[in-house]
Structure 1
Amino acid sequence: MHIHPLITDSESLAALCKRLSTASFVAVDTEFMRENTYWPDLCLIQIGDQFEAAAIDPKAEGLDLTPLLDLLVNNDEVLKVFHAGGQDIEIIHNLTGKTPYPLFDTQVAAMALGLGEQVGYSNLVESLLNERLDKGARFTDWGRRPLDKRQIDYAIGDVTYLAGLFPKMLERLKKTGRGAWLNQEMERLADPANYCVDPDQAWKRIRMPSRKAEVLGRLKAVAAWREKEARGKNLPRGRIMKDETLADIASHPPKSQDALANVRGLSPTWKSNDIGARLMQAIADARELPADEMPPKEERMPGLGKEGALVADLLKLLLKIRSRESNVAARLIAKSEELEALAAGKRNGLSILEGWRFDEFGRDALDLVEGRLAFAIKKGRLAMTRTEAAE
């Protein structure tokens, strides 16, 4: 594989992207910093196929990223391959308003191949390529310039190995017939809605036990205010105000700006500074949450008392057995909350009762809950057996 020098000029980037635009797939990775900012600070982009790879410096003066972004979000003929790519995709969405499509995530694929619940990249490389990654530059300061050779070599390795992993994983998926299983997961990853943060929807991420329209209206208003403040200052939300403080203010709004000095989690200076004034205005402008925006009441699971909890435990045991037998990560098959819902009597809207998950696990799970399946010990191994009720 040909490794290009660090790309810092538009002409070299355009030429690379033109060649890669005819590839069957490209491996993609990014390096970024976000500890102290609201928006991820993109510091490096790595891309390559089976024949060439390069690192691109998005901070290089005058560099036009348009050809690269077009390749990632406007070329549907080239598959984009990531590993645990959620944050990489978020960055691309921030730059373009779109997500890479079509895409393939090797971490998700690894679960379908029974390689682990959330297998790390280095473990995957060692397992399938028999190569050991140099992790020395993993926690480096990617925003510092100039980047040194070790940093660039480390970053390039992420896509060169990824370009080697993908064909091997694709072949295994074809042999096992599990490629179609991943379609739903990849569609979910590619959904732009996952990466859009509407300030007016920010309140939904904050835990609030109250269902009073007045309280939830304030929560919505203050959460939207915080989101806009964080964006405007390019600071993490928690640097503006912690979730707990926000929820407390929604429940017990201060009567005046002076009272902000007594709010736990806020500096005494809020009683007289501009940000405190803006917060008080947001509280004053808050309105009761409309009925059509009220969150649904938590569905009470009928029967999930002590007996229901035991049934849920049996379902988790069944999941372990089926995961072992099929060599598929349990996490990809079912979530604990779905098992509890099934144990409590819910049947609609559960992914384990649809598609491949039903064939692999859901059918037996339903039979277990409804008395047509039971546990047994056969030749010293835990197994499932049909009951008389099933006959």
Structure 2
Amino acid sequence: MQIHPLITDSKQLADFCARISKSDFVAVDTEFMRENTYYPELCLIQLADENEAAAIDPKADGLDMTPLLELMTNNEDVLKVFHAGGQDIEIFYNLTGKTPHPLFDTQIAAMALGQGEQIGYSNLVDLWLGIQLDKGARFTDWSRRPLDKRQIDYAIGDVTHLADIFPKMLEKLVATGRGEWLNDEMERLADADNYRNDPETIWRRIKMQSRKADVLGRLKALGGWREREAQRKNIPRGRIMKDETIADIASHPPKAQAELPKVRGLSPAWRDNEIGARLMATLADAQPLSKDEMPDRNHNGTGGGKEGALVADLLKLLLKIRSREINVAARLITRSEELERLAAGEREGLELLKGWRFEQFGHDALDLVEGRLAFAVVNGKLRMTRTEEAAE
């Protein structure tokens, strides 16, 4: 494989993108910094197909990245291959308002092949290629210039190995008949809604046990306020206020700004600073959450009480058994939230009751909650049995 020098010139980038745009796939990785910012700071982009690879410096003066962004978000003929690509995809979304498509994530694919729920890149390379990666440059400051040869070589290695692994992984997926299992997962990963930090809906990510409309209304208002503050200042949202503090204020709102320092997580400066004044104004304007926005009763756990929780535990045991039997990561089949909803009596909108998930697990899960399947111990081993068999 041909490895190009670091690309810092617009013509070099355009020529490189023109060539790899003719490939069936391109492996993609990025290096970025986000410890001190709301939006990740893009520092390097690495691309490789089966024949050539290069790192692109997005910080280079005057670099026109249009050909690269066109390839990522508008070229449907080239499959974009990532490993655990959520944060990389977020970067392209922030730059263009679109996500790379079509795409393939090797971490998700590894789940379908029974190689763990979240296999790391180093372990993936070792497993498929027998190569032990040098992790020395992993925690480097990618924003500093100039980048040295060791940094660039390390970064390019991430995509050259990925370009070698992908065809092998695809061949095994086809051989096992599990390639189609991944279609929905890849489309979900490419869904732009995953990367749109909407201040109006961000509150749903904050853990809150209360179902009171006034409390949730304040939670929504405070979550949106914090998100806009963080976006405007380009700092991590946690630097403005932690989730726990927002939930505390939503549940027990202070009556005056002078009371803010009494809230856990807030300093005495909040008593009379401008951001404290904006927080109090947000609280004053908060409205109770509308009925349409109220979260489902099962959103934070099973709605079936203690019995429902026990049934959910049985479903989790069944999932563990079945995932081991078919050698696929349990997380790819379903999540605990769906099992809790099934245990609570829900049937609509559950992914585990659709397609391959229903064939491999959902059918038995449904039988279990509806009394047609039971656990039994036979010769000291746990097995599933149909209740008709048990009756006989």
Same fold (TM over 0.5): yes
TM score, norm. by length of structure 2: 0.93
Q: What is aligned with 1:365?
A: 365
- Distance, in Å, in 1 between the alignment partners of 2:293 and 2:342 is 28
- Given that residues 372 and 389 in structure 1 are in contact (C-alpha distance below 8 angstroms), is that contact kept between their aligned partners in structure 2? no
2:158 matched residue in structure 1:
158
**Corresponding residue for residue 230 of structure 1:** 230
Query: Retained in 2: the 8 A contact 1:73–1:98?
Result: yes
Aligned to 2:319: 319
> What's 1:208 paired with?
208
Paired residues for 1:1-391 under 5 Å: 1-298=1-298, 301=302, 305-306=306-307, 308-376=308-376, 382-388=382-388
Q: After superposition, give the CA deviation of every residue in 1:138-197 in whole Å (9 maximum; x if it has no partner).
A: 111111111111111111010000001110011011111111110110110010011001
Q: 1:172 to 1:379 in 2, by over 3 A?
A: farther
**8 Å contact from structure 1 (residues 376, 383) kept in 2:** yes
* Structure 1 gap ranges (5+): none
Q: Which runs of 5+ in 2 are unaligned?
A: none
Q: Secondary structure at the match of 1:80?
A: strand
- Shift of the alpha carbon at 1:389? 5.9
1:304–1:343 Cα contact (<8 Å) kept: no
Which moved further from structure 2: 133-142 or 278-287? 278-287
SS at match of 1:200: coil
Superposed CA RMSD in Å reads 2.2
Distance 1:227 1:337 in 2: 26
Contact 2:28 2:45 survives alignment (8 Å) = yes
Larger deviation: 189-198 or 335-344? Answer: 335-344
One-letter amino acid of the counterpart of residue 273, structure 2: N
Query: For each residue in 1:60-118, what CA deviation from the matched residue of structure 2 results, as whole angstroms up to 9, or x when unmatched?
Result: 11111111011000000100000010010011100000000000000000000111121
Query: Match of 1:280, SS?
Result: helix
> How many equivalent pairs are there?
390
Q: Distance in 2 between matches of 1:126 and 1:295?
A: 44
Distance 1:93 1:211, change over 3 A: same
Sequence identity percentage: 73
Q: 2: distance between equivalents of 1:3 and 1:303? A: 58
Matched AA of 2:139:
F
CA separation of 1:61 and 1:199: change in aligned 2, threshold 3 A: same
CA drift of 1:304 comes to 5.0
Q: How far off its partner does 1:246 sit?
A: 1.7
Q: CA deviation at 1:213?
A: 3.0
Task: Please report how far the alpha carbon of residue 379 of structure 1 lies from its aligned counterpart in structure 2 after TM superposition.
Answer: 7.2
CA contact (8 A) 2:303 2:341 kept: no
2:118 is paired with a residue whose SS is: coil
Shift of 1:382: 4.2
- Write the letter of the residue equivalent to 1:324: R
> 1:301, 1:345 within 8 Å by CA — same for their partners in 2?
no
Distance, in Å, in 1 between the alignment partners of 2:92 and 2:52 is: 22
Letter in 2 for 1:271: R
Contact 2:297 2:303 survives alignment (8 Å): no
